[in-house]
Amino acid sequence: MTGPDFVAPEAPVADKWLEWRSKSLKPSESPADWWRVFRDPVLNRLIETAYSQNLTLLSAGTKVLQARAELGVVIGEFYPQAQTASAAVNYDRASNATPASQGGNSASLGNFWADRWLVQSSWEIDLWGKFRRGIESADAAYLGSIALYDDVLVTLLADVANTYIGIRTLERQIVIARENVARQRESVRIARARFEGGASTLLDVHQAQNVLASTEATIPRLGIQLQHGYNALRVLLGMAPEPLGFLLARGTGKIPLAPPRAAVGIPADLLRRRPDIRVAELRAASQSALIGVAQAELYPAISITGVFGGQASNVGSHNLAQMFHPVGRMFSIGPSFKWNLLNYGQITNHVRLEDATLQQYLIDYQNQVLKAQQEVENGVATFLLSSSEAAYLRKSVKEAEGALEIATLEYQQGTRDFTTVLTAEQNLLQAQNNLAVATGNISTGLVSLYRALGGGWQLREGKPFVNAATVQEMRNRTNWGNLLPEAAQPGPETPVLPSAQDVDSSIRLPEW
């Protein structure tokens, strides 16, 4: 066959991760169902719902069917390209105004009926591999569409987990704000009591109320972000705006905690696990085959054409039924060739165009491998350093709580001014908020790490790319044969959601 045979490109891959000595990293391969390491049943249910209902994923599944149909079209080019059957019945009158009529033959025919039937076939023989290269290209494109579906799935799972962790982090911050509001209201009460007893001035009351109002203002601001998180989650779940209590109310409201150690494997695993890397490689493989298709145009195309049929008329002693008899039978068969001799320059430049495109895709593949390693290292850094940050912030919160307790006691005793209490209150609120954010960052860092490692696409193995409703809708329009499952198969189906009676009414979403 003309054109190069595709060879998987090489790419720079590190032997080990930069932080491979860390005790928080395990050399074992990362789990395919990585979201289960958080041990959060609500997150597990959100993942299942998103896999069943997300419209972006469903669109990617239909692109797999599209690529499979395109492969079938290209495979058909390998066999006789033209196969037609035709038949006709005509009522004719020969012209008397042509050179052929000068002998009187045309005039003697008068008006007559004629009929014919023909079966024609033309087959361009694939001497140079043009059609085989076309099948090779379409096959790689089909596999690439599956890898692209896997990449969409990996991104979807990570987006759902990150959005859920963000929601739980905001809920925790709202709880912290409310706890501090209650604490600061007590400070206002103490300041007002001391003012009314003549132990302090009205300044202390105003300062206490100022800090209290500032803290209260953070609750609606956090509520706006929380509502945005709910809206983003609805889109990921393929849901219209509606309450999410049936999905989130059973949760503890706590930030999902990451395990102390993460399984990362080795960098070489990325070439096998990351769907986007497979997409880049298969795109290059598909393009490589197109070079052979273009080069085949430089050589003659040899075809075999055949015609078989019958023809008859009612002129003289003949009749129309004779087109089915041996006397009316006709056929023609023979080879032919076509050679674009005068288009060599144009064809050569077309080959160069396809080759340059291949080189671009090979470079893109190498760049994708580098970016994949960058994303893993970023996830590792976020996971490890956020863990260290949270450890320091836990100590900070503990110390801030002690400082506030002592400052409040000394203020009540008259040995400390109220500014010290206000500063201690603000320090505690800031430390608690920072701890909540850092705790969420540990979990989102782990999610980013597992996404960068290419985990999660294994969820679709053994399942169809579209749900049963889509299969039925497409079958109602078009005959898909065996390219679509006949009946509903285990796959991305809509799960049964709990009813209102199933939801524990004692668990409420945060209010503000």
Question: What are the tens digits of pLDDT across the range 331-385?
Answer: 888 888 888 887 888 999 999 999 999 999 999 999 999 999 999 999 999 999 9
Is residue 124 a part of any domain in this protein?
Answer: no
Is residue 29 a part of any domain in this protein?
Answer: yes
Number of domains in the chain: 1
Is residue 100 a part of any domain in this protein?
Answer: no
Is residue 242 a part of any domain in this protein?
Answer: yes
Range scoring the smallest mean pLDDT among 12-26, 44-58, 278-292: 12-26
Calculate the CA dihedral of residues 284, 285, 286, 289 and round it to 10 degrees.
120
Is residue 318 a part of any domain in this protein?
Answer: no
Is residue 323 a part of any domain in this protein?
Answer: no
Instruction: Tell me the Ramachandran region of residue 409: left when phi exceeds 0, alpha when psi lies from -120 to 50, beta otherwise.
Output: alpha
d(CA 489, CA 62): 16
Length of the chain: 512
d(CA 449, CA 447): 5
How much is the CA Rg of the chain, to the nearest whole Å? Answer: 37
User: pLDDT of 51-103, one tens digit each?
Assistant: 999 999 999 999 999 999 999 999 988 888 888 899 999 888 777 766 655 55
CATH number (domain holding residue 211): 1.20.1600.10
Assess contact for 216 and 250: CB atoms under 8 A.
Answer: no
Amino acid residing at 278: R
Separation in Å, CA 379 to CA 148, 175, 258, 268, 440: 22, 28, 13, 17, 13
Separation in Å, CA 164 to CA 112, 216, 254, 504: 82, 24, 11, 20
Q: Considering only CA atoms, which of 366, 359, 361, 354 is closest in space to residue 289?
A: 354
Assess contact for 453 and 383: CB atoms under 8 A.
Answer: no
Domain extent at residue 221: 25-91+129-299+346-502
pLDDT at 211: 93
Separation in Å, CA 191 to CA 6, 199, 216: 79, 9, 18
Is residue 11 a part of any domain in this protein?
Answer: no
Helix (H, G, I), strand (E, B) or coil at 206: helix
pLDDT at 124: 87
User: pLDDT of 126-168, one tens digit each?
Assistant: 899 999 999 999 999 999 999 999 999 999 999 999 999 999 9
Is residue 388 a part of any domain in this protein?
Answer: yes
